[in-house]
Amino acid sequence: MRNRISGAVSLGLLGITLFFLILTVGFSTGSSADFRGTAVSAVLAVGGLFTGASLVFAKPSGNLPKKCGFYLTHAGIVLLLAGFALFEFAGDSVTAAVPVGGETFYSNIQRENGEICDLGFHFRADSRLIEYDETGYETQYYADLSFADPVTLKIDGETLSVNHPVRRNGWKIYLMSFTYAADGTPAPDYVNLILRRDPGEYAVKAGVVLLIAGTVLELLIGNAVRTKSTTKKEDGHD
C-alpha cells in the first residue's frame, strides 16, 4: 500500500513537471502560454493538496534531521502555495505613472481596463533623482513621495528607490522607472510605480524559510550525519 502511494505521488509529480515543461517549451518557442489560467491554478492546487496530505499521512524514515526536514519541506510548499492563493483571491496590484512635481494628491488609480482602484491613501511624486557611477552608468533611481492624511491634512514624505519599496496602508509601492518629457514641452516627467497589496506575503516568506530549512535538514544535514547502519542499505545511501 505504501509503495502504491509513493508511486502515485512520484507519478503525479512527474505529471506536474511535464505539464510545466510543455508550457515552458511552448512559451520559449513563441507560442502563447497562459501561466495565470485555470489549468495552472488547478495543477498548483492539486499539488498543494497532495503535499498537505503527505504531511498528515506520510511516515518519513531516517534520522531526526531527515524526519524534521521532511515535515518542514512539505509544510513550506503548502504555505508558499497558500500565500500565492491568498494574493490571487484577496490581493491587488496596479501600475501607476505619476507626474513629478505636481500639486495634486492621488488616491484613485485607473487600471488598464478602465476600472478605478481606490488605494485608501493620498500621495504625489515631488521629485526624482538618478544616481550615476563614474562611468556615467545609472546605478540607482530615487523618487520623493508625499503622503497626505485627508482628515488631519498632515503631509509626510518618504524616499522610494529601486529594491527599497515603501509600505503604506497595506500597500507596497515599488519604483520601476521614469518616463521623461520631450525637451521643450511643458509636460512633466513621470514616475512609474507598481502598487501591490498582498495579504499572502508573510505566508510566502514563512514558506520560503521552511522550505529552505527543510531541504537543508533533510538532504544536507540528514545525509551528513548518517550512520554506518544506514550506509549498509540497498544503495548505500538514505
Partner 1 sequence: MTDSLLRLLIFVQTVCFGAAFVLYLLKKTRPGRVFWLLAETASVTLVIHNFLVNGYVPFVSMYQILTFSAALFGAVYLYIAYFRDAEVRKEFHWTAPYFIGCSLTVSVGLCFMDIAAVWQFPPALRSPWFLPHILVYVIAYIMAAAAFAMTVTKFFVRGDRLRVKQLDGGIYDCVCVLFPCMTAGMLLGAVWANEVWGAFWSWDIKECWALVTWLMFMTWLHFRRTPGLSKFRDLLLIAGFVCVIVTFFFVNGMNAAEMSMHTYN
Q: Footprint of partner 1 on this chain (CB under 8 A)?
A: 3, 6-7, 9-11, 13-14, 16-17, 20-21, 23-24, 27-30, 35-36, 83-84, 93, 137-141, 161-165, 172, 174, 176, 194-196, 201, 204-205, 208, 211-212, 215-216, 219-220, 223-228, 231, 235-237
175 CB-near residues (< 8 Å, 6+ apart): 141, 142, 143, 160, 161, 162, 165, 191, 192, 193
State the minimum distance, in angstroms, from the CB of residue 223 to partner 1.
4
- Using the minimum distance from each CB to partner 1, give the nearer residue, 154 or 228: 228
Measuring CA to CA, how many Å separate 146 from each of 97, 122, 125, 151, 201? 15, 8, 6, 15, 25
Place of cell 493620498: 122
User: Within a 10 A sphere around the Cβ of 191, how many other Cβ atoms?
Assistant: 26
- Using the minimum distance from each CB to partner 1, give the nearer residue, 11 or 64: 11
- Using the minimum distance from each CB to partner 1, give the nearer residue, 147 or 200: 200
What gap in Å lies between CA 192 and CA 179, rounded to an integer? 7
State the minimum distance, in angstroms, from the CB of residue 153 to partner 1.
29
What gap in Å lies between CA 98 and CA 104, rounded to an integer? 10
Q: What is the DSSP string of 138-198?
A: EEEEEEEEEEE-TTT--EEEEEEETTB-EEETTEEEEEEEEEPPPTT--PPPEEEEEEEE-
State the minimum distance, in angstroms, from the CB of residue 124 to partner 1.
20
- Using the minimum distance from each CB to partner 1, give the nearer residue, 89 or 137: 137
State the minimum distance, in angstroms, from the CB of residue 59 to partner 1.
13
Place of cell 494628491: 105
91 CB-near residues (< 8 Å, 6+ apart): 196, 197, 198, 199, 200
State the minimum distance, in angstroms, from the CB of residue 20 to partner 1.
5
- Using the minimum distance from each CB to partner 1, give the nearer residue, 98 or 211: 211
- Using the minimum distance from each CB to partner 1, give the nearer residue, 53 or 204: 204
State the minimum distance, in angstroms, from the CB of residue 21 to partner 1.
5
